[in-house]
Amino acid sequence: MTVLAAAALPRAPSVSVGIATAAIAFALFTTMDTVVKWLSAGYPLHQIILFNSSFALLPVLLVAHHRGGLSTLRTRRPLLHLARGLISIAGAFGAFYAYSRMPLADAYAILFASPLFITALSVPFLKEQVGWRRWLAVLVGFAGILIMLRPGSGVLSLGALGAIVGSMSYSCGVLLVRWAGRTETAVSFAFHTHGTIVLAGLALTPLGFVAPTPGDLMLFALAGLINGFATVMVTSAFRLAPAAVIAPFQYSQMLWGVLFGYVIWRDIPDVTILIGGAVVIASGLYILHRETVRAVPAIAPAAGTLAPKQPA
């Protein structure tokens, strides 16, 4: 390791704080999903999404105020934010519908296919090069999805399709940010995305609205605030530690999903879901590993010059 490379690495205390922050944030996200699943039994999805994003805006506005005021929310790319907001609406409906119809762990196992979709879609949309190793990982990951969906067995559910929509929508949102998001701040993306979802939720209110009880209103507020704060925490975690260190901790949500699902609903994932989910997660981790390898330029052993990146 050269001196320059060593100097560029985050300090160990920062990495440790980043890991702890991410671990807490992903546990909070699962807590939010658990509350959403609980509320979905008595409220329409568009109302849940409306309340969730409305309360999530509060932490975002607090962060904006802390980082320089409302000027941090301004954008020169309104169409970009509108497009991401619309994609996020589809993703929220898909994921929340999956939670309402499936055990959390089962929904997570499918939602965690997003790295596969991101890798596959980056070729036609971003013109990125994907080598044979990552393509093989994508194919293996999709095989894992097929194991869970069991096509032809008669068990393919609308909830599973909702999870696929949620995963693909999230992937498209990530690709959109990678394509044109360098000029926008993270807090700006969060504000405009949640704002778009709130407007869509208000527009859909005539389709049905159930007056929440005081207790459920507190749950709505809890889920939304958790969403906002957890998003801020994840953003901070990626600033404190390398993405390759933080990203795998998202899969800890699978463990929390199994725990919460069993404690509250006595849900136990079947063997097929566990096997398929393990294949999807392993494929995602391998893709992350290859992305990390490609991001670090190799040093030629003889001349000490930087070797060009190779798609892999």
Q: Which two tokens stand for residue 304?
A: 């000490």
Tens digits of per-residue pLDDT, 83-116?
999 999 999 999 999 999 999 999 999 999 999 9
The span from the CA of 63 to the CA of 33, in Å, is 23
Task: Kindly report the pTM of this predicted structure.
Answer: 0.86
Share of the chain above pLDDT 90, in %: 58
Q: What is the mean pLDDT of the chain?
A: 86
Helix 132-149 to helix 114-126 angle (10° resolution) is: 130
Residue 211, CB half-sphere, CA atoms under 13 Å: how many? 0
User: What does each C-alpha distance from 265 to 8, 260, 273 come to in angstroms?
Assistant: 47, 8, 17
The span from the CA of 286 to the CA of 134, in Å, is 8
User: Which pLDDT belongs to residue 247?
Assistant: 86
Tens digits of per-residue pLDDT, 4-27?
333 344 555 688 898 999 999 999
What's the whole-number mean pLDDT along residues 265-292?
91
What's the whole-number mean pLDDT along residues 240-249?
84
The residues, any chain, with a CB within 8 Å of residue 286's CB and separated by 6 or more, are: 133, 134, 137
What are the beta bridge partners of residue 299?
306
pLDDT interval class at 170 (50, 70, 90):
very high
